[in-house]
Amino acid sequence: METKLKINEIFYSIQGESTHAGKPCIFIRLTYCNLRCNYCDTEYAFHEGTDMSISEILSKIKKYPCTLVEVTGGEPLFQNNCVQLLQSLILNRYKVMLETGGSLPLHDVPAEVIKIVDFKCPSSKMEKKNDWSILADLKKNDEVKFVIGDKEDFDWAVDKIISHQLTEKFTVLFSPVFNRLKYDTLTDWILYCNLPVRFQAQIHKHIWNPNKKGV
């Protein structure tokens, strides 16, 4: 029997975040999540989904004129077969990104995959779920993200960056909670913190209605 995963949605859009922001990208959104961040914008991925084999997934994404793929969720690594999907994408010569919430192990993720680890700040109410040991499994081309909701989050993230020497090892992204923290407020804090972090906005929410799915 073929390996199957529960897939919430597959779509072709513009990458809205990370250092690859603005590029055409295929998104494979897996169902389920082990976290419940209070600002989550994809709660519909907690339970909704269709069982698909890896061959069915590959067949669907081959219809799109693109070789950049992001596997996201929910929390994609919550499904054990996610790693097998990542391996298959690499074997099929896709450039693969993985968006993960910083709470699950990464040691089985293929080295070729660009990992974007979204460690949870205090305002998410999921801070205690962070597993900092997974930093040992990150490589130079991987990225660490902090979603900032307020000044406490910002100061906390700066402390974590310094204590773990994150900006010396990886690209570090600061993203404001959409419609909660103003862009100019976060950029002012970044300008005066004297750390080489990268501000990012979720640009897809400015191209389309922020509540629209499949973009």
What are the pLDDT digits (tens) for 169-200?
Answer: 999 999 999 988 999 999 999 999 999 999 99
What are the pLDDT digits (tens) for 64-117?
Answer: 999 999 999 999 999 999 999 999 999 999 999 999 999 999 999 999 999 999
Supply the pLDDT for residue 179.
85
User: Which of 99, 117, 195, 118 has its CA nearest to residue 155?
Assistant: 195
If you ran DSSP here, which 8-state letter would residue 76 be given?
A: G
Q: Which domains does the chain carry? A: 4-207 (3.20.20.70)
With a cut of 80, say whether residue 18 has pLDDT above it.
yes
Encoding tokens for residue 86?
A: 């990542």
Report yes or no: 32 and 100 within 8 Å, Cβ to Cβ: no
Report yes or no: 172 and 160 within 8 Å, Cβ to Cβ: no
Q: Which helix (H) or strand (E) holds 91?
A: helix 82-91
In this prediction the pTM is 0.95
What are the pLDDT digits (tens) for 99-108?
Answer: 999 999 999 9
- Number of CB atoms found within 10 A of residue 39's CB: 15
What are the pLDDT digits (tens) for 25-64?
Answer: 999 999 999 999 999 988 999 999 999 999 999 999 999 9
Supply the pLDDT for residue 215.
76
Task: Tell me how far apart the alpha carbons of residues 195 and 6 are, in angstroms, rounded to a whole number.
Answer: 40
Exposed/middle/buried for 42, CB within 10 Å: 0-12, 13-18, 19+? Answer: middle
What are the pLDDT digits (tens) for 154-163?
Answer: 999 999 999 9
Which strands make up the sheet holding 171-176, listed edge to edge? Answer: 50-53, 4-14, 24-30, 68-72, 95-100, 114-119, 143-148, 171-176, 198-199
What is the widest separation between alpha-carbon atoms in the chain? Answer: 56
Query: ∠ CA 45-63-49 to the nearest 5 degrees?
Result: 20
Supply the pLDDT for residue 208.
87
